[in-house]
Structure formats: C-alpha cells, structure tokens
Amino acid sequence: MTKKSSRPISVVTGGAGFLGSHLTDRLLEEGHDVIVIDNFITGSPHNLEHLAENIHLKFIRHDVTEYIFVPGPVHYVWHFASPASPIDYLELPIPTLKVGSLGTHNALGLAREKKAAFLLASTSETYGDPLIHPQTEDYWGNVNPVGPRGVYDEAKRFAEAMTMAYHTFHGMDTKIVRIFNTYGPRMRLRDGRVVPTFIGQALTNQSLTIFGDGSQTRSFCYVSDLIDGIYRLMMSEYHHPVNIGNPREMTIKEFGEAILKLIETTSAMEFKPLPIDDPKVRQPDITRAKTILKWEPKIDFEEGIQETIHYFRSKI
C-alpha cells in the first residue's frame, strides 16, 4: 500500500471471511486503499490470495477483541469480524460474544479516533424466530437470550446498541446493516449453512440433511448484490438499521429440490429434528433499502446458485 495517497482508506475487520473478502474486492474496485484485520478464527487467507500482489491492500493479523492500532489516517471502518454460522458460534460461544461486544467497542473506538465513518455488519438474527412476516427494521425481534443461538443473536443486538450509542453520544457517522441469508463463492463447505451444506452433499452423493419437515423458509441473496447494498449504505446519510437481502422466499425443502435438479447426483433428502430456536421464517422487507439507497437485488437465484455450484465443484 502506498504511504501517501489521495485514495480513501478503509479498514475491514473480518476481511478474510466470506463477506469481508468480497467487500475488500469491491472497495479496491472503488479506489480505496484497504487494511484488512483478521485472526483467521473463521476466515481464511485463501479468500485474499488473489489480491496478494495488490499494492493497495495491507493485511494485519489481529484479534479485534484486543486494542486495535492502525497508523495513519482512516476514512471508513467496516466491522465484519464475527463467527457467522451456527456451527461456528455453537463451537465458539465466548469468542462470538466477545467480538460482538469488545470487538465492536474497539472498532468503534478506532473509527472515533480517526474521525472515520463506521458500518456494523449486523444480521437478520436480531429478529430471532420472528412473530411478524416479512421482517421490517422497526420490529424488535423474538430472541431467546439463553438459548444456543443467543450468543450470536444477542452479540449482534448489543453491537447495534453500542453503535447507535456512539452515534447519539459522540455524534459519529455510523451505519447498521442487517444482513439476511447470503450465498456465493468463498463460503466454507462445512460451515453449517444450508447453501454450502446442500451443494456439498449433492456433489458427493450424500443425503441432503433437512431439519424438521423443510417448511421453514429462507430468502437467499447473492453476495455481489449484498455487497452493493452495503456499500451504498456506508455512502449514505442514513444511520438507523437497514435490511439488505433478497425478498424471494423459499422453503428449505424447495431449496433442496432445486439443488437436486441442478446437480447430477444420487442424493436424496434425509429429515432430522429441528434444532432449538431455529427460525421458522426469514424474509426481509427491503422497502427502506429501496427508498433510501435505491437498491434491490439484481442476480436471480438460478444464476447465483449456478455460480456457487461451480465454485464448490472446484473445492471438492
């Protein structure tokens, strides 16, 4: 990275993760110098290896639950550090809580010190197992704080509260994005989320594991669409939470059937008991994103899922 530059400087925590690495790509395309901070607890250096020779990228291996030091000016802080899949946060409950609390505090502190804009990568999981459908940003959620998913849900809810406190008390320029189910290349094959799980199982002729009767719904957004919405949000003047996701809703069983049609496989469906506190429905109301950001998803499911299948074929 050049020492003196007129380019905006962005810090991306969790920048070696699935979403963080795609955000890093977008920022470089937009002309930013990017400083990625990651400790590889769930991220991977492979997600950034295509940028190894890019002079506008700097990498710092660091746990953001410890004090963050970045020399020189910073214009934007994008806080994406966190385990984000059920397998991860069930295996890493304390680190998940710490990165949502201490990590968010440190990232906000960095942004405040540098007088930088700050964006929190929050989640639709703040809505818990929702009692309204689709979910609007004004809905406060239905979360079990002591259930197995509570470590992730409440970490993100706390992170939102702290981000808004820094906005109101310190007058900082902060943004909050609530990310709905996102898929695409660079997801980890065994991260426990349904897209890589079903694709990996189908490619290896294993049974597709469906929890419950498969009637629970999800709404899948392709990663490039999501990153576009997030970038627009950071560049906006809006400070309250914004849903970014694809409102096209489908049941888990319908998703499994689609995978079986797209991949030549001997796989069938295998039904298992529904996990505790697993959300029954998930669909974003994106009126706010459409109105304020002029954003809506462009990549249709068939196109995005084919790209994702192609990626996973190369990994198996």
Active site residues: 152
- Tokens for 230, please give them: 């997030």
Show Cβ contacts of residue 273 under 8 Å, excluding neighbours closer than 6 positions. 211, 212
As a whole number of angstroms, the distance between CA 193 and CA 224 comes to: 18
Which residue do the tokens 């996973």 mark?
A: 312
User: How crowded is residue 30: how many other Cβ atoms within 10 Å of its Cβ?
Assistant: 13
**Beta strand pairing status for 242-244 and 174-179?**
parallel
| Interatomic CA distance for residues 294 and 278, integer angstroms | 32
- The answer to whether the CB of 88 falls within 8 A of the CB of 94 is no
Helices assigned H by DSSP within the chain: 18-29, 86-91, 93-98, 104-114, 150-170, 194-203, 223-234, 252-262, 287-288, 301-313
Q: What does the DSSP 8-state code read for residue 284?
A: B
CB 106 within 8 A of CB 68: yes
Residues whose CB falls within 8 Å of the CB of residue 191, separated by 6 or more in sequence, listed in order: 42, 85, 87, 88
What is the 8-class DSSP label of residue 93?
Answer: H
What is the spatial distance between Cα 124 and Cα 238, in angstroms, rounded to a whole number? 18
